[in-house]
Copies of this chain bind each other. A is one copy, B any other.
Amino acid sequence: MKKNSGRPGEFEIIKTYFSPLSRRHPGAFGLTDDVAVLAPPAGHDVVLKTDAIVEGIHFNRSDPPDTVAKKALRANISDFAAKGATPSVYLLALALPDWPDGQWLEQFAKGLAEDQAEFDVTLAGGDTNRTPGALTVAVTMIGFVPQGTVVRRSGAKLGEVVFVTGTIGDAGAGLALLKRQADACGAAEEDLISRYRVPRPRLAFGRRLRGVATAALDVSDGLIADLGHVAEVSHVRIEVDAVRVPLSEALVELRGRDISAIAEAATAGDDYEIAFCAPASCRPLIERIADETNTPVTEVGRATAGEGVALVDAQGHEIKLERCGYTHF
């Protein structure tokens, strides 16, 4: 039944590449049982997230396999960061076409191993299938948060201020570079492409936002589009000052800093930064958390009366946008 003769079968793949990744967790049973079992720490809620990445949509066949693994994991970990939660174990549902060979799988598993060390998570189970179509990596991350403290999208209030971590638009520019829709070279190009391929979840920072942020989410479809989700469920209007949108040096080198470059950055995908709202009185505390976790944070806007989200210029006028975000659908 094996179609790719250069690749081991299902059980050899699990045994060779994936079982070693499960060893630290007793409830993973070395991936030799039907389910995984996890004892929840007392006083905590279980937090669940699934996010899949698809060849040709979220990554390309030519991407280094370890970066594909890391993108799949980090897309999920980034959600935990934004919610103030701690990821613990993950399940991996892999749909494999014929083309990934043993070497690809080895590098893929190496990426998983490196991120397990980096984020203190462990593989607890999975499912490996053949597909006649695109390679699909579906990760489900399971973790914990102290009971009742998860940071929702829905708690933003009138008059609060809006922050975002890191810089915005880099991954979108990295994707454009990969698609040769833009040109750059040297360190700037590498920076931007690496931002696209390997998100950098703000786990340590996010954990400190519990009880501070009133609403938060990870920016994956574009800063404006994602703040739109906060605005919708929090029943506020969010205004983002274009001039305050944090851009990296590499991005400014590539595109400049005019309104159209800012609009492009604020509507590009795959940033995996945290956007959040908090009372203005929390500014000093947020600054301290940013310092202590070594996380750049920028105040970019405010929650006002009304609905929707707007990118506004220095005069407070709404900038017309061609799109609000990047859809992976």
Interface size on A, residues (CB 8 A): 70
A71 in the interface (beta carbon within 8 A):
no
A318 in the interface (beta carbon within 8 A):
no
**Given A32-B232, A51-B93, 10 further pairs, Cβ under 8 A:** A33-B83, A33-B153, A34-B79, A38-B45, A48-B124, A50-B91, A50-B127, A52-B129, A55-B132, A136-B138
Indicate with 1 or 0, residue by residue over A72-93, a CB within 8 angstroms of chain B CB atoms. Answer: 0000000110110100010111
Q: List which A127-185 residues lie within 8 A (CB) of chain B.
A: 127-134, 136, 138, 140, 142, 145, 147, 150, 152-154
* A36 near B47: Cβ-Cβ < 8 Å: yes
Residues of B near A140 (CB, < 8 A) are 48, 50, 91, 93, 140
* B52 near A127: Cβ-Cβ < 8 Å: yes
Cβ distance A17 to chain B, nearest Cβ, rounded Å:
14
Listed by A's residue number, 27 A-B pairs whose Cβ atoms lie within 8 Å are: A2-B327, A10-B327, A10-B328, A29-B152, A29-B154, A32-B229, A33-B233, A36-B47, A36-B49, A37-B47, A38-B46, A39-B147, A48-B89, A49-B91, A50-B125, A50-B138, A50-B140, A51-B93, A52-B127, A54-B130, A57-B129, A57-B132, A58-B129, A91-B140, A97-B133, A133-B133, A134-B134
| Nearest 9 CB-CB pairings of A with B | A133-B133, A133-B134, A10-B329, A50-B91, A140-B140, A138-B138, A34-B79, A93-B138, A52-B93
* A129 near B329: Cβ-Cβ < 8 Å: yes
Q: Count identical subunits in the complex.
A: 2
Residues of B near A129 (CB, < 8 A) are 52-54, 57-58, 328-329
A186 in the interface (beta carbon within 8 A):
no
A111 in the interface (beta carbon within 8 A):
no
Q: Which of B50, B232, B326, B327 contacts A93 (CB 8 A)?
A: B50
